[in-house]
Amino acid sequence: MRIALGQLESGTDIQANLAAIDRFAAEAARDGAALVAFPEYATYEKKTVDASFPAVAEPLDGPVCQELASIARRHGIALVAGVVETSDEPGKAYNTLVAFGPDGGRLAFYRKIHLFDAQGFGESTFIKPGPSTDPVVFEAGGARFGLMTCYDLRFPELARSLADAGAEVLLVCSSWVPGTHKTEQWLALNAARAIENSVYVAGVCQAPPVSVGRSILVDPMGVVEADLGLEPGVQAFDVSLETVARVRELFPMFRQRRL
């Protein structure tokens, strides 16, 4: 199957962000992609998570998600994007990934569980961690996708739980905060999660300056098959479920591990 990575340069103008998502989804569909993935905070982003995030948050049936569903339906493509979702706690929102099918129906949603309280940032001041640690896996285009968000990439047990739940492709939707060695870590961790779980990893990131860019697709052997560099853009790539199955036979770790 064919999937696309949409590297955005999202800001605080929600309508402008949705327009960019629409353009990139149209381009991905024209290029034959069955699914297009966008970054964390795709519809609202700024350099620091602050009180404006819960202020703009909406429920998953609100106008922002309705427009994302409409984009998926209009272009006949599955779509995954990061949104700011209302929570039941005043002053806090959820950092949520939501997936829509090509008919506009909601396939899944995942509320980020590992919040970025590191490197001088305090995401949890305004964002509430997801209440469930259950792996979120959905099917689109004949493949099974698992959802992770940014800082989750540093927690290998989440990726393994998604693989155990049947994921063949991990979508790591991110706004990876820049810093010393951060790009190197981003690239290495995406490759590590692919190798240790015999899956494709599609790490789709916000572009600089808010993030590091370098959205990548890594195959189950750890080979980087695509790197979008630093500029906003969208590209489609083939993933082979036969490759996933072959690598899992070459390295039958799921049968051999001892817990």
**pLDDT over 90 percentage in the chain:** 100
Question: What domains sit in the chain, N to C, each tagged with a CATH number?
Answer: 2-256 (3.60.110.10)
Buried b (16+ CB within 10 A) or exposed e, 128-151: bbbeeeebbbbebbebbbbbbbbb
Residue 6's pLDDT is: 98
Q: What is the pTM of this model?
A: 0.97
| pLDDT (0 to 100) of residue 207 | 98
Residue type at position 43 = T
pLDDT in tens, 17-65: 999 999 999 999 999 999 999 999 999 999 999 999 999 999 999 999 9
User: What six digits make up the tokens of 127?
Assistant: 């964002």
**Over residues 4-25, mean pLDDT:** 98
What would the pLDDT profile of 122-178 be if each residue is shown by its tens digit? 999 999 999 999 999 999 999 999 999 999 999 999 999 999 999 999 999 999 999
Of 122, 129, 79, residue with least CA distance to 102:
79
247 pLDDT more than 90: yes
Per-residue pLDDT, 259: 81
Burial class (CB in 10 A: 0-12, 13-18, 19+), 121: middle
Catalytic residue list: 40, 112, 150
| 180-212 pLDDT, tens digit each | 999 999 999 999 999 999 999 999 999 999 999
Q: pLDDT at position 26, please?
A: 98
pLDDT of 27: 98
